[in-house]
Amino acid sequence: MKASLLLLGLPALGLAYPGMMGDMSREEALQMLREKRDAELVAESQPEKRQILSGLVGSVSQLVSDVSGLLGSVASSVDPANKRPEPGYTYKDPVSGDSRGPCPGLNLLANYGYLPRNGHVTFSEVLDATARGFNMGADLAT
């Protein structure tokens, strides 16, 4: 910042006081000030880069730790014997006259027979099918 202000004022000073610049030409003085300004800018930006980088590294390591802890707890609670679809629930394409909606989850439940295949369902059937087909509680299904 200091060098840039001096850089702006140098031409005016050089014109007002020609002997003040000594043996340097105007171009040499400007070049010297540009180099000084660039050095100051580099020195000012280095601590910010280090601070940003250290903050980023800390955030990423915390995220990795959180994800690995979450995955570990999920993996320990998975029951390999609890597979979907259950025996007796097989996939069948919808036929003409069957109704399907925009929800892929409900369509999947109907295609596998957890919901009536014609697509006409009640609220309690949806709750039962999501509990059985997706192992989803009523609090999440509603």
Model confidence at 64, pLDDT cuts 50, 70, 90, reads confident
Return d(Cα 94, Cα 59) in angstroms, integer.
48
71 vs 134, more confident: 134
Q: What is the pTM of this model?
A: 0.45
What residues does each domain of the chain span? 2-77, 79-142
pLDDT tens-digit series, residues 88-102: 889 999 999 898 989
65 vs 92, more confident: 92
% of the chain with per-residue pLDDT over 70: 71
With 0-12 CB in 10 A as exposed, 13-18 as middle and 19+ as buried, what is 50?
exposed
